[in-house]
Amino acid sequence: MKKLVYSLFLFSLMCNFTLPLNAQRAKVRKTEAKVKMITTPVPVRPAGQKDVLGLDTPKMDVVRVGFIGLGMRGPGAVSRFTYLKGVEIKGLCDLHADRVEKCQQILKKAGLPEATGYSGSEDAWKKMCDRKDIDLIYIATDWKHHAEMMIYAMEHGKHVACEVPAAMTLKEIWDVINTAERTQKHCMQLENCVYDFFELTTLNMAQKGVFGDILYTEGSYIHNLEEFWPSYEGDWRLKYNKEHRGDVYATHGMGPACQLLDIHRGDKMNYLVSMDSDPVSIPNYIKNVRKEDPNGFKNGQHTMTMIRTEKGKTIHIQHDVASPRPYSRMYQCTGTKGFAQKYPVEGYALQSSQVDSSITPNHEDLNSHSFVPTEVKDALMKKYKHPIHVELEETAKKVGGHGGMDFIMDYRLIYCLQNGLPLDMDVYDLAEWCCLAPLTAISIENGSAPVAIPDFTRGNWDKIKGFRHAFAK
Ligand SMILES: NC(=O)c1ccc[n+]([C@@H]2O[C@H](COP(=O)([O-])OP(=O)(O)OC[C@H]3O[C@@H](n4cnc5c(N)ncnc54)[C@H](O)[C@@H]3O)[C@@H](O)[C@H]2O)c1
């Protein structure tokens, strides 16, 4: 008996040493919920419907596109698409005919044929989606139209790409997932920040193990929008903030933070807690500048959210579109062997073991108490430049769009469609990054209670092992 116990003890020790780091930690600590977590319904996947994880669709030599929403954001996308090969711009739609005409001029200037214009009614976009000669609908309208447009387009045989946040409520999110699964169409949220030069380089470093085991990531949208409020069509954005508490614009922070943690590709978010400070600046703006009554304004001045994952990692997300602060997406990555941050200053701090003499001859002098010197940071960024940037950096910087990341996003969307590859962002990313709007509101309105984050893959979050971009062979 003693021998058996001893053998079992030895065996358990051996198992522990051979388990990957993640599994070892997952065994160590499981958080027991002492208070009841708030849950939201998870609709059963309809019979005969399957997930769209790793979805690939037949290759396309030419991707025929229709754009809906040509306000502040849309024309930039039309312009970027004129630089893409193997694309035909077939349709342009906006409520206003003059906005369509402005985009026709972009095509003309690029030497491209005129697209069919759609305008003048709330529903004109449906006619464009009904066409048989369009493969992709690209949406850049206000938030409230996104889900309806994506669903209609997929039901009419189109792939869709939609600006952020692509869905605002849990009903919208589940309806979009179910439509993507039922139609087996691509449904990508146009989250550009995952292609930023620092973020994508850091992701590459993370995937190569430079930071060790990543335990904590951070992201945010901190951007004082006061000068922009009057420019949104029909005042939709201020109205949305007026009527909703919670992090209503979380995707720029969530995207890079979730990719670092392989969310729904080996880990999943389990729950969140959220808290906001009282709104002051926007109500003052409404009162003093617009001479209107700000009473009942809901969105907090600053909203903070913390998320815990199945594998015991944490994410911190913040939202503040009101305070007089410098723009920031925070973006931090903390691992067992190193640290990266983009704001307020870009930098890496690494244990000396993580840097070799190809980066700096004095690598043994490095320690993680402070950022590596600029020349070491530059050498790291050069060494770990992501293959996507190696290929596209020059063109992206020339075409522009938030310093080039917008062009890279569009390029990757078209590249993957043309090559029949899974897109970089799938409908479950869309769901996970957008669900903060409704779930943080629930948490805040319940005294910052923990709220369960649904597994939007409905059981398949561990099917894909690690997030990777797809490339043609
Ligand atoms: N990723 C980014 O960095 C980034 C930056 C800015 C905006 N955005 C997102 O882009 C989207 C658009 O923002 P914006 O600043 O251009 O807003 P906007 O108000 O300037 O433009 C929205 C456009 O949609 C049109 N529209 C509304 N309803 C329509 C309908 N039924 N049919 C056709 N057209 C319709 C409006 O006429 C308007 O021209 C939003 O989701 C926003 O969050 C993303």
In this structure, the answer to whether residues 150 and 201 fall within a common structural domain is no
Does ligand 1 lie within 6 Å of residue 141's CB atom? yes
Nearest-atom number in ligand 1 for the CA of 74 is 16
Does ligand 1 lie within 6 Å of residue 304's CB atom? no
19 alpha carbon – ligand 1 mean position (Å)? 48
Q: How far is CA 234 from the centre of its chain?
A: 26
Distance between CA atoms of residues 382 and 7, nearest Å: 50
Q: What is the pLDDT of residues 74-106, one digit of tens each?
A: 999 999 999 999 999 999 999 999 999 999 999
**Assigned domain for 92 exists:** yes
Query: pLDDT band at residue 25, thresholds of 50, 70 and 90?
Result: low
In this structure, the answer to whether residues 177 and 292 fall within a common structural domain is no
- 238 burial (CB, 10 Å; 0-12 / 13-18 / 19+) is buried
Residues 6+ apart with CB under 8 A from 149: 68, 125, 129, 137, 139, 141, 160, 162
Q: Which of 124, 156, 189 is the last residue of a domain?
A: 189
382 alpha carbon – ligand 1 mean position (Å)? 36
Q: Are strands 87-93 and 116-118 parallel, antiparallel or unpaired?
A: parallel
3-state secondary structure of 214: strand
Distance between CA atoms of residues 388 and 401, nearest Å: 16
Q: What is the pLDDT of residues 405-447, one digit of tens each?
A: 999 999 999 999 999 999 999 999 999 999 999 999 999 999 9
Does ligand 1 lie within 6 Å of residue 445's CB atom? no
In this structure, the answer to whether residues 168 and 240 fall within a common structural domain is no
Q: Which of 189, 215, 233 is the last residue of a domain?
A: 189
240 alpha carbon – ligand 1 mean position (Å)? 13
Query: pLDDT band at residue 45, thresholds of 50, 70 and 90?
Result: very high
In this structure, the answer to whether residues 106 and 247 fall within a common structural domain is no
Distance between CA atoms of residues 209 and 338, nearest Å: 10
Neighbours of 65 (CB within 10 A): 28
Q: In what order do the strands lie in the sheet with 63-68?
A: 116-118, 87-93, 63-68, 136-139, 159-162, 187-189
70 alpha carbon – ligand 1 mean position (Å)? 7
96 alpha carbon – ligand 1 mean position (Å)? 12
3-state secondary structure of 186: coil
153 alpha carbon – ligand 1 mean position (Å)? 17
Query: pLDDT band at residue 120, thresholds of 50, 70 and 90?
Result: very high
Substitution candidate for ligand 1 out of 68, 73, 102, 191 with most atoms within 8 A of CB:
73
Nearest alpha-carbon partner for 348 in 204, 467, 250, 193: 204
pLDDT at 417: 98
Nearest-atom number in ligand 1 for the CA of 236 is 19
Atom 27, ligand 1: residue with shortest CA distance: 141
3-state secondary structure of 390: helix
Query: pLDDT band at residue 31, thresholds of 50, 70 and 90?
Result: low
In this structure, the answer to whether residues 210 and 264 fall within a common structural domain is yes
Nearest alpha-carbon partner for 340 in 217, 196, 207: 217
**Assigned domain for 244 exists:** yes
DSSP 367-380: -TTSPPPHHHHHHH
The helix (H) or strand (E) run that includes residue 414 is: helix 405-419
**Assigned domain for 421 exists:** no
Rounded CA Rg of the chain: 23
Substitution candidate for ligand 1 out of 79, 80, 99, 163 with most atoms within 8 A of CB:
163
Q: What is the pLDDT of residues 195-251, one digit of tens each?
A: 999 999 999 999 999 999 999 999 999 999 999 999 999 999 999 999 999 999 999
DSSP state of 425: S
pLDDT at 368: 82
Phi, psi (degrees; rounded to nearest 5) at 195: -105, 5
Distance between CA atoms of residues 466 and 203, nearest Å: 12
Atom 3, ligand 1: residue with shortest CA distance: 192
In this structure, the answer to whether residues 288 and 139 fall within a common structural domain is no
Substitution candidate for ligand 1 out of 72, 129, 143 with most atoms within 8 A of CB:
72
In this structure, the answer to whether residues 353 and 281 fall within a common structural domain is yes
In this structure, the answer to whether residues 181 and 211 fall within a common structural domain is no
Q: Looking at the predicted structure, is the pLDDT value of residue 13 above 50?
A: no
Percentage, residues of the chain above pLDDT 90: 87
**Assigned domain for 197 exists:** yes
Q: Looking at the predicted structure, is the pLDDT value of residue 17 above 60?
A: no
**Assigned domain for 128 exists:** yes
In this structure, the answer to whether residues 266 and 364 fall within a common structural domain is yes
In this structure, the answer to whether residues 114 and 205 fall within a common structural domain is no
Does ligand 1 lie within 6 Å of residue 276's CB atom? no
Name the pTM for this structure: 0.94
Residues 6+ apart with CB under 8 A from 411: 84, 392, 396
Nearest-atom number in ligand 1 for the CA of 149 is 31
Q: Looking at the predicted structure, is the pLDDT value of residue 12 above 70?
A: no
Residues 6+ apart with CB under 8 A from 443: 38, 246, 272, 273, 274, 275, 305, 449, 450, 451
Q: Looking at the predicted structure, is the pLDDT value of residue 21 above 60?
A: no
Atom 33, ligand 1: residue with shortest CA distance: 94
pLDDT at 358: 84
CATH number of the domain that 71 lies in? Answer: 3.40.50.720
pLDDT at 262: 98
Query: pLDDT band at residue 8, thresholds of 50, 70 and 90?
Result: very low
Mean residue pLDDT across the chain: 93
Across the range 188-192, mean pLDDT stands at 98
Q: Looking at the predicted structure, is the pLDDT value of residue 5 above 60?
A: no
Nearest-atom number in ligand 1 for the CA of 232 is 19
Q: What is the pLDDT of residues 297-351, one digit of tens each?
A: 999 999 999 999 999 999 999 999 999 999 999 999 999 999 999 999 999 999 9
141 alpha carbon – ligand 1 mean position (Å)? 3
Distance between CA atoms of residues 44 and 21, nearest Å: 34
Domain coverage including residue 161: 63-189
Are residues 179 and 155 in contact, defined by beta-carbon separation less than 8 angstroms?
A: yes
470 alpha carbon – ligand 1 mean position (Å)? 29
Distance between CA atoms of residues 240 and 332, nearest Å: 28
Q: Which of 144, 167, 189 is the last residue of a domain?
A: 189
Phi, psi (degrees; rounded to nearest 5) at 148: -60, -45
Q: Looking at the predicted structure, is the pLDDT value of residue 362 above 90?
A: no
pLDDT at 16: 41
**Assigned domain for 392 exists:** no
In this structure, the answer to whether residues 321 and 334 fall within a common structural domain is yes
232 alpha carbon – ligand 1 mean position (Å)? 8
**Assigned domain for 100 exists:** yes
pLDDT at 9: 44
pLDDT at 33: 64
Q: How many domains does the chain have?
A: 2
Does ligand 1 lie within 6 Å of residue 69's CB atom? yes
101 alpha carbon – ligand 1 mean position (Å)? 16
Q: Are strands 314-320 and 214-222 parallel, antiparallel or unpaired?
A: parallel
CATH number of the domain that 283 lies in? Answer: 3.30.360.10
Total residues belonging to the chain: 473
Nearest alpha-carbon partner for 396 in 123, 127, 124, 196: 196
Are residues 430 and 165 in contact, defined by beta-carbon separation less than 8 angstroms?
A: no
Q: Looking at the predicted structure, is the pLDDT value of residue 458 above 90?
A: yes
251 alpha carbon – ligand 1 mean position (Å)? 16
